[in-house]
Structure 1
Amino acid sequence: MILQLTKSKLAIDTLRISEAKYRSLFENIDQSVIYLDATGMVMAVNQAAEQLLGLPRDMLIGRKFVDSCFNVIKEDGSDFPEEQQPSLLSLRTGKPVEGVVMGLFNTERQSYLWVAVHSVPEFRVGEHQPHQVLMTLTDITRQKQSEGKLSMASVIFNNIGEGIFVTDKDKKIISVNEAFTTITGFTQQDVYGKSAHFLHSKKNNLKIDDELNKATEGVNSWQGEIWRRHKISMDFPSWTTVSEVKNSSGEATHYVHVFMDITHFKKTQDHLGFLAYHDPLTKLPNRLLLKDRIDHSLQNALREGSQAAVLFLDIDRFKGINDTYGHTVGDGLLRETAKRIKNLVRKEDTVSRYAGDEFVVFMENIPDAKSPAKLAQKLIDTFNTPAYIKGYRLKISTSVGISLFPQNGKDTDTLIKNADAAMYRAKKEGRNNFQYYSQELTTEASEKISMESALRQSLERHELILYYQPQVCLKTGKLVGVESLVRWMHPTLGLMSPRQFIPIAEESGFIVALGEWVLQNACLQMRRWLDQGLNVNKIAVNVSAVQFARSDFVATVEQILQSTKLAPSYLELELTGGSFMDNSEQTIKALNQLVAAGIDLTIDDFGVGCFSFNNLKRIPVKKLKINSSFIVDVLTNINNETITRAVIALGHGLHLQVIAMGIESKAQQNCLVNLGCDEGQGYLYSSPVLPWSNIFQQLGMKPK
């Protein structure tokens, strides 16, 4: 028993001596050693490892090695995944892992410590899984540094996000990085040996090439924006730095081009620029851009002597809508307002959200002072249509104020201020109306718009009436034709002559519908006369220049003749000189089509306006009508007689008939006969009358 205790004590002492020797060896060995348990926790760290890592062991023991304030990277500079680190590989596989190079971040030096790591798993007797792993670290930092800058440059070259391509001294591409291919779509094989200019987009201006040439001749570097080609998709803008590489003799050997795709940046920049000058809710110009545009336009208007207008409009009772239905509905209404305004203005007009529910329309180069009222009325009309926002039916209206340049102000601020004042007067007048800064103009424009509105309803209300005035041969006194003349029986103003409403119809575009109605009803009346056996040779119908400008005018005339079963030879169209102002090929073609169909053409009011004598060579007219202003004084005014004589001579010289209008006396008739005029029309023969009057009996005509 004593012998057994002696042996046991001796074994324990031997073990302690062995452990002490091991601990001394572990602590004093030059090799950095770390023990980790089966979970990867650090169990022991020797002094050499402590010094190498620059961390006290109490910061290491009891923690995972990877969690000990280290950022671990591979040789290529990428992050070293934890599961691939040698200690954990040894624990997982039970096999040694040798010679793995790791970069460990040294917090004290703020730099990477490069180590070669060997990991050896250790097993207990009878176990197949290692219970710990012995890891040794060898400092290879100097070795890595000696591999040097070239290796690091290679890492950067291949992993940097910017595209890089290198050219030789002749500016031929010799190398590209991976980011270059990612950004441009071109591979090394695609561009090798090609000029750097190969990558330039056609969007670059010529100055770019000049700047680059200067940059690569005697200047170390250049920076700037260059548009670059993409192999597959669209060209893109890049921010490029070009650097010159020189040898020891100071000669350029290479050029390094570093660039990034700045498409997103440019879009962001454009978006920020847009927000600086536009309202983010409606996307309309804000007051800053509005002022800039008006300032610029007024300079042109002042130089050219043209007129402009500012319309200031406000949504009536908008605050009530906003408070009742909430800001989401209010915002929706503002967007709908912007849409409705933009749908009505001209392309050259500027629409701005000025503030809150206030909008401004700037009209440049307006034809006259009253024309803005037409837009104002259209705006009022469109706002009278309910808006449907977020399921709510909103009945809205607007009040509009108008100021004019230069009458109501010669600068932007004054024009807007005065338009704003006119808008507030519109609200005081009961809202849902417009007001000029000048009360007189408001009255005139309102009357004109009221007249236009009533005129548009005249057709459906059957207020239009056709009167007829005979045209006679001056030598024989026989009837040669009848001119149809439209009148309007206004519900409050009574019977109105064409001079009172035709200009309004032409300006508003209603003349097209009005003219078609006149032509249809005149042809129907001519058909009735012929059916009654009256020998009427021609029915003359006035055609406006606005009607004639329509591409379907000829087809409309042919359709009406067909529907009324009237032969084209019975129809004569009287056109004002303005119809031929452009003297275009389209106009000439249409005129010839009408004549080819058998319709006679007459130039009405010849001698007034701006009709060109040169047009008479090209247009196939048959007759000239002398304006009545020359006939009224033909007996007493030598100039009028001379002009009348000249027109008649001109017409006959061109083999045209000449008819004079406004004949009121036998003396005028005799004078015109002596001057050689062919036909006449006027109160001497008959005033314009309704079709059922005894006009034909007065002229000696009776039904067959």
Structure 2
Amino acid sequence: MFNLFKDESQNVNSFFLFMQSLVNRNLAAEALRVSETRYRNLLENMDTGVVYLNNAGTIISANQAAEQILGLQSDDMMGRALTETCARIVREDGSVLPHEQHPAMLALRTGKPVENVVMGFLNCVRQDHTWVMTSSMPEFRPGERQPHQVFMTLNDITQRKLAEEELNLASVIVNNTGEGIIVADQDNNIISINPAFTILTGFSRQEVFGRKADFLQSKKNTIKINDELHKSRKNRHSWQGEMWHRRKNSDDFPCWTTINQVKDAQGKTTHYVYVVMDITHLKKAQNRLGFLAYHDPLTQLPNRMLLKDRINHSLQNARRESSLVAVLFLDLDRFKIVNDTYGHAVGDGLLKEVARRIKNLVRKEDTVSRYAGDEFIVLMEDFLDAKSPARLARKLIETFNDPVEVKGHRLQITTSVGISLFPRDGDDTDSLIKNADAAMYRAKKEGRNNFQYYNPELTTQAFEKMAMESDLKQSIDRNELVLYYQPQICLTAGNIVAIESLVHWQHPTMGLIDPARFISIAEESGFILAMGEWMIETACKQMRHWLDEGAPMNKIVVNVSAAQLLRSDFVATVERILRTHGFSPHCLELEISENSFMDNVEPIIKALNGLAEAGVDLTIANFGKGYFSLINLKRIPVKKLKIDSSFISEMLRNSNYEDIVRSMIALGHSLDLKVIAPGIESEAQQKLLAELDCDMGQGHFYYPPALPDANFFAK
């Protein structure tokens, strides 16, 4: 209903004003509708979830992003409290978030924004938690102090949260793993390590930061980290293998190392990750298993498998060098009685003691094996002659003369030994073991507690040699050693210049034995030391007797061995004997054979220089055999060279030998040495030697070796 005024003009104006107001109001409503539509479209297309709650905490609006985040349709949320739509809301630590502490509730209650709160909603569709970063902003009507609604945003951070959890888990694993971890940059410079690495190596982060990762490599390595990195880059894969690393204290340790490349989106290597696992205990276990595979667990000796391998190897060397190999087969006599009487624990203790005694007797290069039960085998190689194994066999038998104490029991045992030799008794491992076993059974048949060669002839020879050795060791006490004497003559004047002493053995049953038959036995048994001292003592005593009788002599000659020279007190012993008999050192001349210089050259040269400094004259005997380096003649203050007698005996029949003798005489004179020729048997030999300007001679042509009562000085 319109109000009409009396003034027609005024009424019309009022009508138009009213109509204009209606139009403006409609335009505003349309604009508001358009704005609301745009706002709604904006909310619906946002990635951020948006939820409106009224002042009672009831959902009045939610966009599609919120529906997806919460796993609910809008119709299921409208008019319901947020806590009803999300049955379970949790904090970051997993605890349930109470309704009153929900950020939206706090914003409604306090009227203040609550921003950037992380919490988890149970997604009803997936039945798992969706993690969100939420902020709640209160909205106020004009003039009101309490908000009439809350505008809540929800940002899905589930993937970031999972990534953080994975990263945290990885960090926990890295920091708590027992393996050392190194992170290096693309240039292999260390940028990070874990605590286990410090425990493993002793290096702190500050000590390794910026250093090349390969500084940890031990010199024991046969592979290089840089080489493996190059291969890894080239082949685009990780590398793993066994390496030796070093600790801060310089100790080396074995480790299993894995090197992985870290690449960027373009496939370029940005980092290297090293995982280092200490395998010391594993290596020890492997070594132990390897040891047990080839050794007897009771005695720790090589077992049958390792023994056969070593015999095979020694036979290869022996074939190449034409040398000997011996297999000694030992069996304990009546061992079964010990086991049956005292039990296996005592039997095992006995076997361990047997192994120890055998091991203590053999040389370092010999192999001792527990072959089976109470059977042991000794492998010998690199020995002098076929009789050498017999000497070891006798020692093995003698070592059990002393009782064995095991667990309070005093056991007296014996052993039987069989010996086989390569190549005489077999050409392969099995044959040598079988034949040594057969020889051992023959030893048992001979009464046990003895040894037998597989070849009976060698057994006889070995027993004869051992009997001679036993008798020889008693020869001094029994006054059976005798010195024979032979003058050395000046070839120009014909007078005696010295008398050489030569030892013989007056054996009670075998008669007079030439030194060639027993000197080697004396050297092998060590008796040469006692015999050598007796020779010097006896020769000096005889010279004193001759001088007291007015004999025209001024020098006695005694032969010495390398074993004597190697004794630290030898020079002092010689000086003591000379003082006892009142002689000047120049009254004694010591001869040492050229072949003594085959071994221990430096210690022998040192001993000879000590004798020369003491004033004793020295002669190199058997010169020309080829063992002696001519350079050493300048290092030893010798006075004479004695040519080997084989050259003298052949020089009249072979001109080559004459040339050799001439050369040796010339060599001696060029070094200002006297030269003596032994073994002169004829006037023709004497005449030729005189023509060659030889200084002295010795032999049957002048005087044969004789006892001291021979009248050398009457001629």
What's the TM-score once normalised by structure 2's chain length?
A: 0.70
5+ long unaligned stretches in structure 1: 1-47, 53-73, 77-110, 115-140
* Deviations, residues 366-402 of structure 1 (Å, cap 9, x unaligned): 3332222222222122222222222322222221111
- Say whether 1:406 aligns with 2:423: yes
**Equivalent in the alignment of 1:699:** 714
2:508 is aligned, of 463, 478, 491, to 491
The corresponding residue for 1:134 is: none
The one-letter code matched in structure 2 to 1:344 is L
SS in 1 for 2:382: strand
Q: Name the counterpart of 1:254.
A: 271
SS class of match (2:447)? coil
1:678–1:449 distance in 2 versus 1, CA, 3 Å = same
Q: Contact (CA 8 Å) 2:597, 2:627: kept in 1 or not?
A: no
The one-letter amino acid of 1:154's match is S
From 428, 439, 460, the equivalent of 1:443 is 460
2:405 alignment partner in structure 1 = 388
Structure-2 residue corresponding to 1:222 = 239
Report how far residue 619 of structure 1 moved.
4.7
Deviations, residues 140-197 of structure 1 (Å, cap 9, x unaligned):
x999868642333233233333333333344333333333333333333333333332
Q: Which amino acid aligns with 2:480?
A: E
**CA offsets, 1:558-586, max 9 Å, x none?**
23212332222221223323245579565
Q: Secondary structure at the match of 1:202?
A: coil
Q: Is the 8 A contact 1:689 1:695 kept in 2?
A: no
What's the secondary structure of 2:503's corresponding residue?
strand
**In 2, Cα distance between the equivalents of 1:152 and 1:403?**
70
* Aligned equivalent of 2:296: 279
Once the two structures are superposed, what CA deviation does each residue of 1:472-523 show, in whole Å capped at 9, x if it has no partner?
5566665443322212122321221212211222333322221111011111
Q: Measure, in 2, the Cα distance between the counterparts of 1:683 and 1:344.
A: 46
- How far residue 302 of structure 1 moved from its aligned partner, in angstroms, is 2.2
Distance change in 2, residues 1:607/1:252 (3 Å):
closer
User: 1:415 and 1:209, CA in 2 relative to 1: closer, same or farther beyond 3 A?
Assistant: farther
- 5 Å-filtered alignment, 1:411-422, equals 411-422=428-439
150 and 318 in structure 1: CA distance in 2 versus 1, 3 angstrom threshold: same
Inter-partner Cα distance in structure 2 for 1:665 and 1:181: 89
Is the 8 Å Cα contact of residues 564 and 570 (structure 2) preserved in structure 1?
A: yes
Please tell me whether the aligned partners of residues 489 and 696 of structure 2 are also in contact (alpha carbons under 8 angstroms).
yes
Where does residue 306 of structure 1 map in the other structure? 323
Aligned residue runs from structure 1 range 101-250, under 5 A = 148-216=165-233, 219-232=236-249, 234-250=251-267
> Using the alignment, how far apart are the partners of 1:678 and 1:621 within structure 2?
15
Partner of 1:556: 573
Contact 2:624 2:643 in 1 (8 A): yes
Deviates more, 1:297-306 or 1:591-600: 591-600
Residue 551 of structure 2 aligns with which residue?
534
2:589 alignment partner AA: E
Question: Equivalent pairs: percent with the same residue?
Answer: 65
* Distance change in 2, residues 1:220/1:388 (3 Å): same
In the TM superposition, what whole-angstrom CA distance separates every residue of 1:70-102 from its partner, at most 9, and x where no partner exists? xxxx979xxxxxxxxxxxxxxxxxxxxxxxxxx
Alignment of 1:363-378 (within 5 A): 363-378=380-395
Query: What residue identity is the alignment partner of 2:714?
Result: L
How far apart are 1:430 and its partner, in Å? 1.5
Q: Is the 8 A contact 1:468 1:484 kept in 2?
A: yes
Please state how far the C-alpha of 1:657 moved relative to its aligned partner.
4.7
In our comparison, the structure showing a higher alpha carbon Rg is 2
Q: Deviations over 1:437-484 (max 9, x none)?
A: 211122112212221222122223332122333445566665443322
User: Residues 583 and 615 of structure 1 are in contact (CA less than 8 Å); yes or no, is this contact kept in structure 2?
Assistant: no
CA distance in 2, matches of 1:301, 1:458: 37
C-alpha separation between the residues in 2 aligned to 1:455 and 1:303?
37
The one-letter code of the counterpart of 1:699 is A
Secondary structure of residue in 1 paired with 2:247: coil
RMSD: 3.9
Structure 2 match to 1:343? 360
Q: Does the aligned pair in 2 maintain the 1:436–1:442 contact within 8 Å?
A: yes
Alpha-carbon distance in 2 for matches of 1:381, 1:522: 36
Q: Per-residue CA shift, 1:674-700, capped at 9, x if unaligned?
A: 776655545566554443x2525x716
Distance 1:663 1:158 in 2: 92
Q: Secondary structure at the match of 1:366?
A: coil
Per-residue Cα deviation, 1:122-146 (whole angstroms, up to 9, x for no partner): xxxxxxxxxxxxxxxxxxx999868
Letter in 2 for 1:228: H
Conservation of the 8 A alpha-carbon contact between 2:485 and 2:500 = yes
Q: Secondary structure at the match of 1:206?
A: coil
Structure 2 letter corresponding to 1:312: F
How far apart are the structure 2 equivalents of 1:576 and 1:489? Answer: 24
Q: 5+ residue gaps in structure 2?
A: 1-83, 95-127, 132-157
Aligned residue pairs total: 567
Quick one: distance in 1 between partners of 2:432 and 2:514?
38
For residues 455 and 566 of structure 1, the distance between their equivalents in structure 2, rounded to whole angstroms, comes to: 30
Alpha carbons 2:565, 2:608 under 8 Å: kept: no
Instruction: Give the letter aligned to residue 263 of structure 1.
Output: T
Partner of 2:475: 458
Match of 2:582 in 1: 565
Is this contact kept in 1: 2:214–2:225, CA < 8 A?
Answer: no
1:323 aligns with: 340
Q: Which segment drifts farther, 670-679 or 420-429?
A: 670-679
Deviates more, 1:566-575 or 1:172-181: 172-181
Q: Deviation of residue 275 (structure 1)?
A: 0.9
What TM-score do you get using the length of structure 1 for normalisation?
0.71
Counterpart position of 1:108 = none
Q: Distance in 1 between the 2:350 and 2:702 partners?
A: 64
